């Protein structure tokens, strides 16, 4: 499941993509426009900031902006930053590989092979979709 954290984060990032080039947006504005609890969104944006996906400015006229242009930020990056690896089993994760404890024969584990394919397709879609694409899907 995509957690609320991930969903909220994606929605906020898409909104920031739409506002890209128009100066920083306040957490409060983001929270209100997307109906996200403000304090929760603070945590989310902070995590995104630590990954360099957003930049922030404090003080009056502060707020958040995308860390890169919308064309250069993928949905996959955001999901990984907030919800962790895309892989459904750790033994097929690219970003957080870990062998299954009990799995002796990883090489020919059918579960692994099938979920490797799922991961690859998921990554293809999510890493192939940028914020620019996502933003353009929505009516203004």
Partner DNA sequence: CAATACTCTACTGACTTTGTAGACTTTATC
Partner DNA sequence: GATAAAGTCTACAAAGTCAGTAGAGTATTG
Query: Which residues of the shown chain bind its own copies in the complex (CB under 8 A)?
Result: 1-2, 7, 10-11, 14, 34-36, 75, 88-89, 100, 102, 105, 108-111, 113-115, 117-118, 121-122, 125-126, 129, 134-135, 137-139
Choosing among DNA, its own copies, none, which partner's interface includes residue 18 (Cβ < 5 to 8 Å by kind)? Answer: none
Among 34, 49, 118, 129, binds DNA (CB under 7 A): 49
Contact 116, 92 (CB under 8 A): yes
Q: Exposed (0-12), middle (13-18) or buried (19+): which is 50, by Cβ within 10 Å?
A: exposed
Choosing among its own copies, DNA, none, which partner's interface includes residue 110 (Cβ < 5 to 8 Å by kind)? Answer: its own copies
Q: For the chain, how are helix, strand and coil distributed in percent, rounded to 5?
A: 55, 10, 35
């Amino acid at each position: 499941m995509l957690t609320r954290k991930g969903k909220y984060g994606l929605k906020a990032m898409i909104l920031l993509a739409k506002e890209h080039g128009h100066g920083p947006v306040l957490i409060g504005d983001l929270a209100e426009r997307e109906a996200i609890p403000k304090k929760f969104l603070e945590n989310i944006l902070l995590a995104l900031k630590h990954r360099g996906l957003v930049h922030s400015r404090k003080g009056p006229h502060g707020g958040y902006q995308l860390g890169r242009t919308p064309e250069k930020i993928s949905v996959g990056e955001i999901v990984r930053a907030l919800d962790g690896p895309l892989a459904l089993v750790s033994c097929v994760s690219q970003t957080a590989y870990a062998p299954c404890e009990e799995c002796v024969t990883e090489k020919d584990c059918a579960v692994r092979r099938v979920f490797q394919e799922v991961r690859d397709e998921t990554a293809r879609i999510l890493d192939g979709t940028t914020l620019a694409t996502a933003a353009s899907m929505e009516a203004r």
